[in-house]
Structure 1
Amino acid sequence: MGKPVVKLSESAMFELIRRPVVTEKSTLGSQHNQVTFRVPLDASKPEIKAAVEGVFKVKVTAVNTLRVEGKTKVFRGNKGKRADYKKAVVTLAEGNTIDVTTGV
């Protein structure tokens, strides 16, 4: 039983990769050939892999995902909740790089 191969349209690829996560922790991942992106909550690992390979023309070896629960915050006495989101940590093959500081 092999891994599923996903075919995505170009617009679907751009819809899947919302934006790169640029934090201190995510930039440390670049030492290990990893790039972090925000993705939709319903995105699967094979879809994320296909989207990153299609948009950036790189070879992806692994995709790790995590769901981040939105925080409950109080502002001027009003309670609110930030939106939940999903992060994808994409490990690139040796020799491939993605520069997140430039646009696509």
Structure 2
Amino acid sequence: MADLKYYDVILRPVITEKSMNAMAEKKYTFFVHPDATKAQIKEAVEKMFEGTKVASVNTMNNDGKVKRRGMTFGRTAKTKKAIVKLTDESKDIEIFQGL
């Protein structure tokens, strides 16, 4: 496994209607590094966003889709998503404000 620093774990937030509705329950969705563990994701969120406390982390691995260009077959990159639930007394993550 690669030696990941906390700033390498979170790649970008997921901006969809479903993830925006989940923010009312203090659940935030991120694309994360495929080799990141739940403990690393928890540490990265707490260090990157001041005043946040993570209650739980749920992850899902998505395989790359098969794509075809002419007679050649290939795959897109595999991805990993993490849904981070914050505690009730935790501050909100400001990156999602105003979206």
TM bracket (short chain)? 0.7 to 0.9
Question: Is 2:50 the counterpart of 1:51?
Answer: no
Q: Which amino acid aligns with 1:100?
A: I
Q: Which amino acid aligns with 2:24?
A: Q
Structure 1 residues 32 and 79, CA gap change in structure 2 (3 angstroms): same
Corresponding residue for residue 94 of structure 2 = 99
Question: Is 2:58 the counterpart of 1:64?
Answer: yes
Distance 1:79 1:100 in 2: 38
* Aligned residue pair count: 92
**SS of residue paired to 1:18:** strand
Structure 1 segments of 4 or more deviating over 6 A? none
TM-score (norm 1): 0.78
How much does 1:61 deviate?
Answer: 0.4
**SS of residue paired to 1:29:** helix
Task: List aligned pairs for 1:22-61, cutoff 5 A.
Answer: 22-57=15-50, 58-61=52-55
Please provide the CA RMSD for this pair: 1.9
Distance 1:38 1:64 in 2: 12
Corresponding residue for residue 20 of structure 1 = 13
Which stretches in structure 1 are left out of the alignment for 5+ residues?
A: 1-10
Structure 1 residues 26 and 77, CA gap change in structure 2 (3 angstroms): farther
Which stretches in structure 2 are left out of the alignment for 5+ residues?
A: none
